[in-house]
Amino acid sequence: MTTMVSNLELLRRIPVFSRLTPSQAESIAEALEKRRFRRGEVLAQQHAHSDLLFILLTGRVRVTSTDKCGRQLVLCKLRGGDLLDEMSLIDNEPHTATMQAETHTDVLTLGRTDFLRCLQENTHVAHAVMVRLVQRLRQADRKIESFALLDVHGRVIRSLLEHAEQGPDGTMVIREKISRQDIAKMVGASREMVSRVMKDLEARGYTQTDASCQITLQGPFMQDFL
């Protein structure tokens, strides 16, 4: 009973499930299991099948796609409140990407049968899942557009903007540590090329990186690229 109550409390914190009635939430909570993944552990492997929905509570998960030559592209990063792998559960196809914990990550898992039942019985959840899928599709469209229309310089700039958050003083800051290699995997370029672009942006006064690797987008960046 304690586990069920705990899962119920956790479920209510997830936006997708926030509009469930008490009885609906209790029914789903009974089918949930809590799991913890250590940094570097894989939640789901590209091309493999899975029957689990992952509901991300805490931590950060990197979603990557790898081609036959071993080249890796970072598609996105997911955080608390996100759902992982709902697409595979809906169409029963293999994972299109690998999902790996970047930090210690806590999740709730829900089996495919219970997830599909949840969608059928709860229109609010079904609508929220559709909205998230559309958001992911739009994000994929923007990435395709970047590769088709922008050079490496432009793709790096767009990636910085996507990761930046507005601070209390109005400046745009990338607080999470992001390496040149990480950016390279996001924009489909070599680390050396990304390093050259970042040095150019710093030299032109667009960005500043402090000792903790926090990147601040300077005033000229805002004027020229926002």
Per DSSP, the three-state class of 78 is strand
Confidence of residue 46 (pLDDT cuts 50, 70, 90): very high
- Write the CATH number for 84: 2.60.120.10
Q: Report pLDDT for 189.
A: 92
Q: What is the dihedral of CA 46, 50, 52, 55, to 10 degrees?
A: 0
Are 136 and 174 within one domain? no
pTM for this entry: 0.78
Evaluate whether 32 touches 7 at the Cβ level (below 8 Å): yes
Residue 129 host element (H or E): helix 123-149
Q: How far is CA 218 from the centre of its chain?
A: 26
Euclidean distance between CA atoms 4 and 28, whole angstroms: 10
What value does the mean pLDDT of the chain take? Answer: 88
Q: Is the pLDDT of residue 221 over 80?
A: no
Are 121 and 28 within one domain? yes
Euclidean distance between CA atoms 129 and 143, whole angstroms: 21
Q: Dig out the tokens for 185 from the structure.
A: 């995997």
Q: Report pLDDT for 1.
A: 40
Are 77 and 179 within one domain? no
Give me the mean pLDDT over the 48-73 stretch.
91
pLDDT > 90 in the chain, percent: 46
Are 59 and 128 within one domain? yes
Confidence of residue 4 (pLDDT cuts 50, 70, 90): very low
Query: Cα separations (Å) of 144 from 38, 188, 191, 193?
Result: 31, 11, 20, 20
Q: What is the pLDDT of residues 10-41, one digit of tens each?
A: 888 898 898 888 888 888 999 999 999 999 99
Per-residue three-class SS string for 145-214: HHHHHCCHHHHHHHHHHHHCEECCCCCEEECCCCCHHHHHHHHCCCHHHHHHHHHHHHHCCCEEECCCCC
Q: What is the pLDDT of residues 115-166, one digit of tens each?
A: 999 999 889 899 999 998 899 889 888 888 888 889 999 999 999 988 888 8
Specify the number of domains making up the chain: 2
Q: Report pLDDT for 226.
A: 62
Are 111 and 210 within one domain? no
Domain limit, last residue, from 148, 177, 202: 148
Pairing type for strands 172-174 and 98-101 reads unpaired
Q: Is 160 exposed, middle or buried (0-12, 13-18, 19+ CB in 10 A)?
A: buried
Q: Domain span at residue 190?
A: 150-225
Are 10 and 86 within one domain? yes
Euclidean distance between CA atoms 125 and 28, whole angstroms: 12
